[in-house]
Amino acid sequence: MADTYVLVHGAWHTGAEFEPVARHLRARGHTVHCPTLAGNRPGDDRATSGLGDAAQSVVDYLVQHDLRDVRLLGHSYGGMVISKVADMVPERIARLVYWVAFVPLSGECLNDMVPPHYKALFDGIAQANGNAVMLPYPIWREAFINDADAALARSAYEQLNPQPYRTFTEPVVLQTELAAKPMGKSYLLCTEDTAMPHSLPWHPRLSERLGLYRLVACPGSHELCFTDPALLARKIEEAGRD
């Protein structure tokens, strides 16, 4: 069955980095959209853009393209965004898919879910860079894209852009907690992902906040969109199907 997917990228990314995955999903008969969030577009003000702006940009995209019965996927920070979008336009969403993504409770910000050493690192980087943060390459190489060779790790890193720090510090306010929302929910776990330490895991620590949900797992790092887009597309289809 052909479905409609909207793939919401994570921090430091744009929709362009999802296009290799989208091509595989389109080849399988699906309609796929890869918007770039407000805050990560060329010319966006990294000092002032926040989580609310990013969520509103997805809502505007769904309305502009009149998208309904959507499988809405969020990667990493994108989980914060799709959680708010689901609160704003639930009638347009058939299923939420969290790919190694943050699952907030109402009133939480992304920084509430990361280890203290990450928060301290990002605080310092943002203070020195106009409230924008860039992920240091050694963390990217070892924790985010540990299944890539050196050349792919470097070329992927060069596609990233500075992240507005307000997207990490601005709390999300939900009318209804995610566990109580009626649409389908899935969590897609990459088993070699160490972007979050395994002592503070994506699953089950965050995934269980979805209430009733489907778990789909596969090998790979936090950046499987670069290292094996075909595998990721197959697993997104498993996570998104009815």
Q: Average pLDDT of each block of 10 consecutive residues along the chain (242 residues)? A: 96 98 98 98 97 98 98 99 98 98 98 98 98 98 98 98 98 98 98 97 98 98 98 98 95
Q: What pLDDT, on a 0 to 100 scale, did the predictor assign at position 146? A: 98
Write the CATH number for 182: 3.40.50.1820
Task: List, in sequence order, every residue forming a beta bridge with 95; answer none if it has no partner.
Answer: 71, 184
User: In angstroms, what CA-CA distances link 80 with 43, 52, 239?
Assistant: 22, 10, 18
**Which residue range(s) make up the domain with 231?**
4-240
pTM, full prediction: 0.98
Cβ density class 69-100: b for 16+ within 10 Å, e for less: ebbbbbbbbbbbbbbbbbbebeebbebbbbbb
| Phi/psi of residue 113, nearest 5 degrees | -110, 0
DSSP strands (E only) in 81-224:
93-99, 132-133, 163-164, 184-190, 214-218
Rounded Cα distance, 59 and 82, in Å: 9
Q: Is 135 exposed, middle or buried (0-12, 13-18, 19+ CB in 10 A)?
A: buried
Q: What pLDDT, on a 0 to 100 scale, did the predictor assign at position 1? A: 81
Rounded Cα distance, 47 and 146, in Å: 30
Q: What pLDDT, on a 0 to 100 scale, did the predictor assign at position 39? A: 98
Split into its structural domains, the chain has a count of: 1
Amino acid at 223: E
Q: How many CB atoms lie within 10 A of CB 59?
A: 16
Amino acid at 138: P
